[in-house]
Amino acid sequence: MMVRKKIPEKSVERICRYREILLEYQSIGKEFIFSHELASEVRVSPAQVRRDLMYFHLKGVPQQGYRVSEFLYEIDDLIDPKEVQDVILIGVGNLGKAILSYFTHKRPKLSIVAAFDVDANKVDRVISGCECFHMRDLQKFTREREIKIAIITVPAQEAQAIANTLVESGIRGILNFSPVLLKVPADVYLECIDITTSLEKTVYFSRGRR
C-alpha cells in the first residue's frame, strides 16, 4: 500500500480552512473555484494554495479552476478519519458548554459523545446536546469506549491530573484549553489553545500600526 507523504501542521491547518470556504461555495451553488479565490478568502497566496494541493491529487483545469465537490471529497479523504471519531470533553463550564453547543453536528466524522464534570447539577443531564457524566467515570468510559481524543476545558489546577488519567487510559490526542502547559508523553499529540497568549499577541501586534 502506498504511504501518503506526511503533511506539515501548517498545511493541515490551511487545508481545514479551505474546506470551510469550499463548504460555503457549495452552499451557494458555486461549482468551481480558482486558486486565487480560495487564496484571498483564506488570506494566503495563490501559490500557497496550489502548493498545498500537491499533497493530494486534485486536477484543476485552467480557465475553470477546481471542481468544488471534488476538492471537498479530496480534503475529507485526506483529513478526516475513516470511521466516526468519538471525542470526549472534560470540564463543563462556560467554555466547555460553548464548545459542546458549537460542535454538535459540525462535522459528520467528529462526535463529542460524552462530557465529564464534578458538579452535581451537571452530572447525568444532557447539556448543550451532550450527555454529562461524573468525573469519576472518566477512566472507565475512556477505556471501554476506547476514546482516542479528548478536549480539556477544566481550570488550571486540575488540568494536569486529568491529562495523566487520560494518557493512562490510552488517549492519543488532547486539545487543551486550560491555561497550563501540560506534560504528556511524546507519542500523545497535544494541541494547546492559549487564550492569554493570543490576546497578548493581538495587543503586541496592534501597536505600531498606523
Binding status of residue 175 toward a copy of itself by CB under 8 A: yes
125 binds, among DNA, a copy of itself, none (CB under 5 to 8 A by kind): none
Residue numbers 156-185 binding DNA by CB under 7 A: none
Angle between helix 68-79 and helix 9-27 axes, rounded to 10 deg: 140
Q: Would you put residue 159 in left (φ > 0), alpha (ψ -120 to 50) or beta?
A: alpha
Residue 31: alpha-carbon gap to chain centroid: 26
The smaller minimum CB distance to DNA, of residues 58 and 78, is found at: 58
Task: Say whether residue 73 binds a copy of itself (CB under 8 A).
Answer: no
Task: Please pick, from the candidates 61, 106, 108, 157, the single residue that binds a copy of itself as defined by CB under 8 A.
Answer: 106
Q: Is 25 in the site for a copy of itself (CB under 8 A)?
A: no
- 125 lines the binding site for DNA (CB under 7 A): no
Q: Which is nearer to DNA, 3 or 156 (CB)?
A: 3
Contact indicator for 109, 85 with CB cutoff of 8 Å: yes
Contact 13, 41 (CB under 8 A): no
DSSP labels for 105-158?
TT-TTEEEEEEEES-TTTTTEEETTEEEEEGGGHHHHHHHTT--EEEE-S-HHH
- Residue 46 sits in the site that holds a copy of itself (CB under 8 A): no
Residue 137 in grid coordinates: 467515570
194 is a site residue for a copy of itself (CB under 8 A): yes
103 in contact with a copy of itself (CB under 8 A): yes
d(CA 15, CA 76): 10
List residues near a copy of itself by CB under 8 A.
9, 12-13, 16-17, 20-21, 41-43, 79-81, 85, 87, 93-95, 97-99, 101-103, 106-107, 110, 148-149, 151, 172-175, 179, 181, 187-189, 191, 193-207, 209-210
List residues near DNA by CB under 7 A.
8-11, 34-36, 44-48, 50-51, 53-54, 58-66
